Amino acid sequence: MNSVDTVVYLISSLIAISAFYIQGQEFIVSMIRGQSVQSVLIAVVAFIIGWQERSYDFFILGALIIVLRAFLVNYFLQKRIPKEKVYLYERKVSLSYLFLLDLIFIVISVFIIYSIAFSGIVLHSFLGNSGNSAVLVFPLTLFFQGLFLIASRRTTFTQIIGYVEEENSLVLFAMFLLPIPIIIEASVFLDVLALVVISSIVVLEKFTHEPVEELRG
Amino acid sequence: MILGQLLAVLIILIPGAAGILYRTGIKQASIIGGSVDLAIAGIMYFIRPQVGFFFIQNSTMVFIVMVLAVYLLSTVYSTRYLKGVEVMGISEPTYYLLLNLFTVSMLFSLEVNNYGLMWVGIEATTISSALLLITEKTETSLEATWRYIVIVSAGVTFAFISIILIYYILGTLSVSAAIASHVHSRIMVLAVSLALIGFGTKVGVFPVHTWLPDAHSEAPSPVSAMFSGVLLPTALYVLYRVYEIEPVRDLYVWFAVLSIVAASIFLGYQVRYKRMFAYSTMENMNLALLGIAAGGPLGITGALLLLLSHSFGKAGAFYSSGNVLRFTGKKKIAEISGMGTSMPYTSASLLMSSLAVTGAPPFGTFFGEFLILADILSLHMYAQFIIVIISLAAAFISMNYNVTGMIFSGNQPNVERDRLMPALSVLSAILPLFIGIFYLVVYIEIL
Amino acid sequence: MDMITLAETLTQYFFVVLSAPLYAGILAKLKGMVESRQGPSIFQPYYDLWKLFRKVTIIPAGSGVFFKYIPYVIFGIYSLIALIIPVLVPVPIYFTASGDFLSGAILFSLAAFLKTAAAMNSGSNYVALGVSRSMSFNFLSEGTLITVFIAVSLLTATNNPYTTNAFLVSHSLENLSLAHIFSTLAFFMLFFYETGKIPLESPGVQELGMIDEGLNYEYSGKLLAINRWSSYIKQYLLGSVLLNVFLLPWGLFSSSPYFLLDIPVMIAKWVLLILIVLVVETTLAKLRLFRVLDYLATAFTFSILFLIFAEVIP
């Protein structure tokens, strides 16, 4: 294990922690900021890989992440937070219970999936030097964490952030595995941004989501 | 050949170009654009673009024609339907603009020769169609919109993992190259299986179908028709393209069978007619998935035939539901009776389309289902065959029982005020019949 | 050789048992200074213990044998732990072979369990309340303690804390490995809970904030003194494991005459830990009681998650 590897692992684990931080928040503003920080961390990983691999694509990717995810998504979401006090945070979140459930979910989904399917993958980048693909655990964790965030919470904002988290994990996944052509990655970014904008329109109308009688079965 | 490229680009651009007349006459522009586009698609059948940025095969043409035809029908139908909406969530020009963009993104994902861009196109269909669901703005439709956005977009991200893996294995995202390459590996199996969850969310595969009935029942009828008739087949087409790389047959077949069973069970206890049709869509999509998964020439042909006639049949069913809703204002099956006298044309189209989508013999869907099941039998999948047959029968009985109950019970005064809307629904409902008869004629001619 | 080991053993044992109350005194003194008070003398815990030893012990009417004798057993358990983990001398001593890291963790759990059982045996309603409160948190803290000890042993693939300590001293980069960093974090969070520090528990007279102290409600005189002393030893043990295995594995001497130097080194390390604790205690406000569960759940999540990361990542 060399020192750059260690740094990448550390930043990746910070990304995983940021996901847990978002899961543990009640206030919407701090969740949105948590997402921004997460995107910046992903951009930092992109810069490190780009510097190690001497590839400019990663720098463009990192810049795109910072501009589109860290700033624009943050901006559009923060603008939509209703001013009334009742909407500033989500009620009835029992964090310890959710954390434990989350833990079980993550452990089962990520590690079983990883050990069945991904452990045989060989990475092309310098991260694969040691002959294993363990770093892929982090994007997988982030992915399922995003999925769990969507499933466990009831407000529109939280679910949007869960979705953005999932998309973040895909960027990270592609970076570690083999970077998708930048043009496609960019259109994915724009797609996600558009989806965030569209769904933030729904926020204005409907803040929380509970089961509805007419939509059952 | 450059002409072919030009045609392919035009087909994508024309519906979007109608948006230029956003302020003055987007309604008329969309109708004209749709008709022109259909004509161009007819030309493109003979002059194909070369394989490069676009990848258009005969099967793709079926999908393109399907999308354009249903789009045209829906646009015309919307001109009348929107007049009766009480609280509009979006303005009328915006509605048409989004409808056009929705069509553009579907055409884009059908034509491009790149898995990444296909994914982008599928995601764009979610973006452009999400706000269409709140055309008739109620608390319920907002909730349905939100479920549609969240479930579909969260599910489709799974598919992107599979696309990353495909790129990792093949080093290319080009569809034509991927299909031609015969790389078999464990990771490819994983990629194709993940695509089933990912794109399967949009197709309506069982555990991840939950957005489908909500969105279909709360959308305005022309949009429901497009969802059911063409959006789901588009997603299925993309799934088919991924499946072609590495057929993971058993997994796909079992998921399709499971979904058919689930759909026919859910269909049985629905109290709202649009929701009932939504589950019927799920059933038909999974039948087509079954055909694709079976993979023989019979199965593929059957799936195409099924999708084509289902798209018109289901459009007819949703237009008829739209008529019923517009003329009576009732959403539940039990509240409606005596349609035979109160809405003669609508009841004719409703009966025909409901027979069409459940696969009654002279309709195209019947032949599609027949071919698919024949292919399943040729693969010696007897258990699957029996399960599917039973589920199909159950769905057929429960749906037609409900529909006939709505039509042949009691007498009501005539309330059918409009002429165009029933006419369109009858037209859409008859088309599967023509497709069926046409297929039969061609089949006999060939034999 | 044997004589040296014996000397090391005796030094370690008596150092642990005798110096344990000192750190609580230092913390109280420093805290007083930060709050612009003069603060109690750093030997105040010793005076308190001495005072309590001389007082009359009152045994509640409804109590049983557990109540009377368990404090001695707990003291014995902590004494045993003091002999099997590297809290002063970084080489094995007598009794080290009697248990490994995991057994240390389980002995901690045993002591906690016995303490609750003894408290329940007092037959008082207030104590029952305190027990139910501490039990509703302990299920997470015990789990974290065990997982953390397992996680750190994964580094060297052995459960021997001495090996781990030596390994970390010789391989400095391993201190940055994920499993190590996050088990450190989790253990640090746990240390605050187990020793009743401020974001979780404010020890003192107000019963709203007490978790562990609630178990001592019915104790008085000599038994209370022994219970207090056990708590001090427990704090020293956990803190020293945190220092020697997780935070600062360096700086301990093992060759024969120099092991006595470990005493000032350990005290210096402890002063550092006390400073960290001081910063936390004086800057953070106490959490609401129900948030304690969230805090422990976070620590538990960290420990489990990175236990598994450690399993996956070489």
For residue A38, pLDDT beyond 90: yes
Closest partner CB to A215 (pick from B117, B123, B214): B214
Inside any domain, residue B57:
no
More confident residue, C188 or C206: C188
Instruction: List subunits contacting chain B, requiring 3 or more Cβ pairs under 8 Å.
Output: A
Residues B287 and B347: beta-carbon distance below 8 Å: no
**Mean per-residue pLDDT for B387-401?**
92
Could you write out the DSSP letters of every residue in C147-205?
HHHHHHHHTTTS--HHHHHHHHHH-GGGGGSHHHHHHHHHHHHHHHHHTT-TTT---SS
Give the domain extent around B425: 247-447
φ, ψ of residue B112 to 5 degrees: the values are -70, 155
Angle between helices C2-34 and C65-84 in degrees, nearest 10:
110
Q: What is the pLDDT of residues B416-440, one digit of tens each?
A: 788 888 888 899 999 988 888 888 8
Q: What integer pLDDT is reported at residue C207 of this predicted model? A: 59
Helix (H, G, I), strand (E, B), or coil: what is residue A27?
strand
Q: What distance in Å separates residue A89's CA from the closest CA in chain C?
A: 16
Q: Is residue B350 part of a domain?
A: yes
pLDDT-derived band at B199 (thresholds 50, 70, 90) equals very high
Residue of A nearest to B270 (CA): A217
Q: Which residues contact A37 (CB under 8 A, 6 or more apart)?
A: A18, A70
* CB-based contacts of B307, cutoff 8 Å, min separation 6: B62, B63, B66, B233, B236, B284, B288, B368
Contact yes or no for B139 and A206 at CB 8 A: yes
Q: Does the structure show a pLDDT above 70 at A128?
A: no
C contacts of A95 (beta carbons < 8 Å): 294, 297
- State how many domains chain B has: 1
Determine the average pLDDT of the residues in B157-171. Answer: 89
CB B312 within 8 A of CB B229: yes
Look at the block and give the residue holding tokens 């029968």: B393
Q: CB of A111 within 8 Å of any CB in chain C?
A: yes
> Alpha helices of B88-185 — where are they, by DSSP H?
92-111, 115-130, 139-170, 175-180
Residue A217 belongs to some domain of the structure: no
Contact A170 B164 (CB under 8 A): yes
C313:A134 CB<8 A: yes
Q: In 3-state terms, what secondary structure has residue A208?
A: strand
Token output for A67: 């501009």
What is the identity of the amino acid at C20?
A
- Torsion sign across C-alpha atoms C83, C86, C89, C92: positive
The phi and psi torsions of C300 (rounded to 5 degrees) equal -65, -45
- Chain B hits for A165, CB-CB cut-off 8 Å, are none
Tell whether A194 is within 8 A of chain B (Cβ).
yes
A184/C contact by beta carbon, under 8 A: no
* Residue B141: pLDDT over 90: no
> Of the candidates A10, A20, A137, which has its C-beta nearest C176's C-beta?
A10
Contact residues on chain A for C294, CB-CB shorter than 8 A? 24, 95-96, 99
Residue A180 has pLDDT above 90, yes or no: no
Residue A24's domain comprises 3-208
Is any Cβ of chain A less than 8 angstroms from the Cβ of B213? yes
B86-95, B114-123, B435-444, C127-136, range with greatest mean pLDDT: B114-123
Reduce the DSSP state of residue A155 to 3 states and report it: strand
Tell whether B261 is covered by a domain. Answer: yes
Q: Are B392 and B369 in contact, with CB atoms under 8 Å apart?
A: yes
Please count the other Cβ atoms lying within 10 Å of the Cβ belonging to residue C101: 24
Determine contact, residues B168/A177, Cβ cutoff 8 Å: yes
CA distances from A75 to A78, A196, B197 (A): 5, 11, 32
Q: Give, in order, the Cα–Cα distances in Å from A199 to each of A80, A169, A193, B17, B95.
A: 10, 20, 10, 25, 16
C264-270 average pLDDT score: 90
Question: CB–CB of B190 and A117 under 8 A?
Answer: yes
The band of A131, judged by pLDDT with boundaries at 50, 70 and 90, is low
Mean pLDDT of all residues in A162-184? 87
**Domain limits at C278?**
2-312
- B143 by Cβ neighbours in 10 Å (0-12 / 13-18 / 19+) ranks as buried
Question: In chain A, positions 77-116, which contact chain B (CB-CB < 8 Å)?
Answer: none
Residues of C with CB under 8 A from a CB of A: 140, 173, 176-178, 181-182, 293-294, 296-298, 300-301, 304-306, 308-309, 312-314
Confidence of residue C209 (pLDDT cuts 50, 70, 90): low
Q: How many other β-carbons are positioned within 10 Å of the β-carbon of residue B67?
A: 28
Q: Name residue B332's beta-bridge partners.
A: B272
Measured CA to CA in angstroms, residue B36 lies from A67, B31, B57 at distances of 40, 9, 21
Tell me how close the Cα of A78 comes to any Cα of chain B, in angstroms. Answer: 19
- The Cα–Cα gap between A140 and C256 comes to 51
Instruction: Name residue, tokens 């305005």.
Output: B220
Q: Give CA–CA dist A143/A136, Å, rounded.
A: 11
Query: Letter for the amino acid at A215?
Result: L
**Does residue A215 fall inside a structural domain?**
no
pLDDT grade, residue C205 (50/70/90)? low
- B222 contacts: CB under 8 Å, gap ≥ 6: B73, B74, B75, B77, B78, B81, B99, B318, B319, B322
Task: Report chain C residues whose CB lies below 8 A from the CB of A141.
Answer: 305
Q: Would you call B160 and A188 a contact, using CB atoms and an 8 Å cutoff?
A: yes
Cα separations (Å) of B29 from A162, B36, B220?
39, 10, 21
The single-letter code of the amino acid at B213 is P
Cα–Cα separations (whole angstroms), residue B404 to A94, B152, B272, B348: 50, 34, 15, 11
Tokens of C246: 């997780």
Q: Are B272 and B216 in contact (CB under 8 A)?
A: no
CB within 8 Å of A206: residues ≥ 6 apart: A156, B139, B142, B143, B146
Dist. CA C232–CA C26, nearest whole Å:
12
For residues B398 and B405, give the distance between their C-alpha atoms in angstroms, rounded to a whole number. 11
> Which residue is it, tokens 């029908």?
B73
Report the number of distinct structural domains present in chain C. Answer: 1
pTM for the full predicted model: 0.86
Average pLDDT over every residue of B384-388: 92
Segment C183-205 shows an average pLDDT of: 80
- Which residues, in sequence order, are CB contacts of A91 under 8 Å at separation 6+? A26
3-class secondary-structure state, position A190: helix
**Residue A73 burial (C-beta neighbours within 10 Å; 0-12, 13-18, 19+):** buried
pLDDT tens across B49-72, in order?
Answer: 888 888 888 889 989 999 999 999
pLDDT at res. C305: 78
Q: What is the token pair recorded at A197? A: 């904008």
| Confidence (pLDDT) at A195 | 85
Q: What is the mean pLDDT of residues A53-77?
A: 88
Asked if B399 and B333 touch (Cβ cutoff 8 Å), the reply is no
**Mean model confidence pLDDT for chain C:** 84
Residues C251, C257: Cα–Cα separation, whole Å: 15
**CA nearest to B242, candidates B210, B201, B205, B200:** B200
CA angle, corner B94, sides to B90 and B99, nearest 5? 110
Distances (CA, A) of B249 to A145, B189, B283, B296, B440: 30, 10, 19, 11, 29
Task: State the nearest Cα–Cα gap between C308 and chain A, in angstroms.
Answer: 8
pLDDT band of residue B203 (cuts 50, 70, 90) is: very high
Q: How far is A10 from chain C (nearest CA, A)?
A: 7
Residue B350, CA atoms < 13 Å, CB-side half-sphere = 31
Q: Which of B61, B76, B169 is nearest to B110 (CA)?
A: B61
Q: Are C90 and C254 in contact (CB under 8 A)?
A: yes
pLDDT 10s digits, A200-212: 777 777 777 777 7
What tokens does B283 get?
Answer: 């059933």
Chains B and C are touching, with contact defined as 3 or more CB–CB pairs separated by less than 8 Å: no
Single-letter code of the amino acid located at B191: A
pLDDT bracket for residue B7 (50, 70, 90):
confident
Q: Is residue B335 part of a domain?
A: yes
Band of pLDDT at residue B290, cut at 50, 70 and 90 = very high
B289/B372 Cα distance (integer angstroms):
10
Stronger pLDDT, C207 or C214, i.e. the higher one: C214
| SS3 of chain C: helix, strand, coil, percent, to 5 | 75, 0, 25
Whether the CB of A102 is below 8 Å from some CB of chain C: the reply is yes
Residue A48 lies in a domain: yes
ipTM score of the complex?
A: 0.90
pLDDT mean across residues, chain A? 83
Instruction: Say if A36 falls within a structural domain.
Output: yes
